[in-house]
Amino acid sequence: MLGCLVGQAVGDALGLGAEFLSKEKAASYYPNGLQDYSQIIQDGYRLNWEQGEYTDDTEMAVCIMQSVIECGKPDVKNIAFKFWEWFKNQPRDYGRTTRKVLTNHNYLKDPFKVSEDYFNLSNSAANGALMRNAPVAFLPLSYAKDICRLTHWNPLCVDSCIIHSLMIKSLIKREYLPIEDFIDETENEEVKVYLRRGYHSLESLELDDRATSGYTLKALGTAVWAYYHAEDFKSGLESIILEGGDADTNGAIAGAVLGARFGYEAIPENLKKNLFDEGYISLCEEYLKCVKQNNLLSI
Ligand SMILES: [Mg+2]
């Protein structure tokens, strides 16, 4: 379980190295691959982060963990408050849907209504809820839906979070499910298409296509690929990141699956040791302790 939460953070922090790059550009920046935070090119965008620092994806996952620890249970209103507070402190990056919803003046009063209204207006299907889903996967499945909907109301986003949670739950139990089991979890044909694409190959997801790089189902597809085809944590994560596109988010989402699949020990030492947030791993341990002590663990 710790592997899943730490996999999310290291996938995010390493993925920053190829965020917004085309696959071609990523290959030219990292001809020998990308295995360490120190290799990350220091262009105008990436200079905003310290070496080994994770981004908004894991910052929002931290909001969820802190809220559950403080409340002793998942309290969606309190999680909404943590998201709101996080945004108020001016994060360096965030998605459009997250910004639009969290800056609505009615957000704290009725986060679900604001989120639903924004979906009706925009039809947004961004990956911003899936990217913070790792800690949610340990809770009863209904929270995958509720916590997703705090910012992302689209059923495609909800299905993404539910299926990602089911993948992680099965890996923790050491039950490797066939792809049909995940396909059967959704009624939506579009979700089924992307589950099959991820199962087929990483390339078929076209992760660096600019117009669609933040699409929740593409990110879910990387998790599917990681579930079935990655040979180990390190090479699996590297393959996904070097596809470019929304690489930090894909790294976070697939990193959580890789960590659940291969375990904490399989995450390269340099990636764990050099996380900029030195307190992150102990926060994850505290979160898992809290979830178990309060009988919230639902695998
Ligand atoms: Mg990010």
User: What is the per-residue pLDDT for 279?
Assistant: 98
Q: Among 246, 253, 250, 255, which residue's Cα sits nearest to residue 214? A: 246
pLDDT for 49 equals 96
pLDDT at residue 42, rounded to an integer? 96
Q: Would you give the end-to-end CA distance of the chain in angstroms?
A: 10
Distance 151 CA to ligand 1 centre (A): 16
Distance from residue 90's CA to the centre of ligand 1 (Å): 14
Q: What percent of the chain has pLDDT over 90?
A: 100
pLDDT of residue 95: 95
Question: Which band of pLDDT confidence, cut at 50, 70 and 90, is reported for residue 183?
Answer: very high
Q: Considering the domain 2-31+51-293, what is its CATH architecture?
A: Orthogonal Bundle (1.10)
CA distance 156 to 271: 32
For 203, the enclosing helix (H) or strand (E) is: none
Does the pTM surpass 0.85? The reply is yes
Rounded to the nearest angstrom, the distance between the alpha carbon of 12 and the centre of ligand 1 is 7
Helix (H) or strand (E) holding 148: helix 142-149
User: What would the pLDDT profile of 213-233 be if each residue is shown by its tens digit?
Assistant: 999 999 999 999 999 999 999
pLDDT digits (tens, 9 = 90+) for 12-45: 999 999 999 999 999 999 999 999 999 999 999 9
**Mean of pLDDT over the chain:** 97
Ligand 1 center to 17 CA (angstroms): 11
Rounded to the nearest angstrom, the distance between the alpha carbon of 49 and the centre of ligand 1 is 11
Report how far ligand 1's centroid is from the alpha carbon of 109 (Å): 27
Task: Say which amino acid occupies 243.
Answer: E
The per-residue pLDDT for 85 is 98
Distance from the CA of 138 to the center of ligand 1, in angstroms? 22
Expressed in angstroms and rounded, the spacing between residue 60 Cα and the centre of ligand 1 is 10
* Cα 180 to ligand 1 centroid, rounded to whole Å: 30
- Going by C-alpha positions, the residue among 116, 57, 22 that lies closest to residue 253 is 57
Distance 131 CA to ligand 1 centre (A): 8
Residue type, 118: Y
CA 201–ligand 1 middle distance (angstroms): 23
296 close to 140: Cβ distance less than 8 angstroms: yes
Query: 151 falls in which pLDDT band (50, 70, 90)?
Result: very high
CA of 51 to the centre of ligand 1 (A): 15
Interval between CA 94 and ligand 1 midpoint (Å): 7
- Residues 197/179, Cβ–Cβ less than 8 Å: no
Radius of gyration of the chain (CA): 17
The tens digit of pLDDT for each residue in 66-103 reads 999 999 999 999 999 999 999 999 999 999 999 999 99
Map out the domains of the chain as residue ranges: 2-31+51-293
> If you measure from the C-alpha of residue 93 to the centroid of ligand 1, how many angstroms do you get, rounded to a whole number?
6
What is the pLDDT, as a whole number, of residue 274?
98
Position 260 scores a pLDDT of: 98
Q: Ligand 1 center to residue 178 CA distance, Å?
A: 30
Ligand 1 centroid vs 128 CA: distance in angstroms? 9
C-alpha 294 to ligand 1 mean position (Å)? 31
List the structure tokens of 271: 């990636």
Residue range 280-298: mean pLDDT, rounded = 97
Q: How far is the CA of 61 from the centre of ligand 1 (A)?
A: 11
- Banded pLDDT at 199 (limits 50, 70, 90): very high
